[in-house]
Amino acid sequence: MTFGSRLLDAAATRGRLCVGIDPHASLLEAWGLEDSVVGLAEFSRRCVEAFADTAALVKPQVAFYERYGSAGFKVLEATLAALREAGCLTVADAKRGDIGSTMAGYADAWLGEDSPLRADAVTVSPYLGVGALAPVLDLAEATGGGVFVLAATSNPEAVVLQNHAGQDGRTIAQQVVDECAARNAAHEGPGNVGVVVGATLEQAPDLSRLNGPVLMPGVGAQGGSAEDVARIARGVEKLAFPNISRAVLGAGPRVGDLRDAVVSAAAEFPGR
């Protein structure tokens, strides 16, 4: 099965919600945990317990593990493994992007079947050219892993760059989406290559031909709504997976409250 098909299957029973695991220092403090590897591990453990059987997709933010060095990566490895063992799909929010053998190394790190960091999907940056992402896109195609390519992000600094139009009138964001669509064209159902499109955007690329999942950050605390998701993904709503992090994590630190927050948020985005 493609990653897109697996994600739709998960959404059919859990809704189309992607929940972030973002253990930044202020949130660790708010949960009564110390800003250390010990606190990081406990935060992650509670998130796994709360999200593994409630969310369609769970997205650990790699940066918040990386800041602890090798000990942080060890916690991330354990977190990804625990979610995988529970049958929950994961996307490592690593935003990697490079060329040649370096990109192949990133591909092996995040999607390689024998990698301790293996996730079901990974986020990547296309700003060395979508073609430069070939090693990770090819590995995803070979293994049924997923790739989310940054196309039109929700941060205001990106708008001028991503909305810049080329000679054919297409914005850079649209060009990224179209190249990803070409990768998915061989699949009858949704393919392995998705894109990241912010839910707070006033002008978003056309997603109608993507035939892959759309990860939509910006819902909840950043101001995006279910109506925004429906507007941007009109016609392909079932492939749109809004990402909510702060609004769910703010319900912690109790596992039961986190679970309730996921179930409540997911109800706004049914998968059937």
Specify if 271 maps to a domain. Answer: no
Give the residue numbers marked as catalytic. Answer: 95
The CATH number of whichever domain residue 139 belongs to comes to 3.20.20.70
Specify the 3-state DSSP secondary structure of 204: coil
Q: What pLDDT score was predicted for residue 221? A: 67
Specify if 108 maps to a domain. Answer: yes
Name the phi and psi angles at 183, rounded to 5.
Answer: -70, -30
List beta partners, residue 73: none
Q: What pLDDT score was predicted for residue 156? A: 84
For residue 131, the 8-state DSSP code is G
Domain tally, the chain = 1
Is the CB of residue 243 less than 8 Å from the CB of residue 217?
yes
| Mean pLDDT for back-to-back runs of 10 residues, the chain (272 residues) | 97 97 97 98 98 98 98 98 97 97 98 97 96 98 98 89 90 97 96 97 95 93 86 96 95 98 96 84
Specify if 61 maps to a domain. Answer: yes
Interacting residues of 176 by C-beta distance below 8 A, sequence separation 6+: 126, 130, 149, 150, 151, 195, 205
DSSP codes joined into one string, 80-94: HHHHHHTT-EEEEEE
Q: What pLDDT score was predicted for residue 160? A: 86
Is the CB of residue 212 less than 8 Å from the CB of residue 191?
yes
- Give the number of other CB atoms < 10 A from CB of residue 92: 24
Is the CB of residue 97 less than 8 Å from the CB of residue 127?
yes
Is 0.95 topped by the overall pTM? Answer: yes
The range of the structural domain enclosing residue 102 comes to 3-266
Specify if 272 maps to a domain. Answer: no
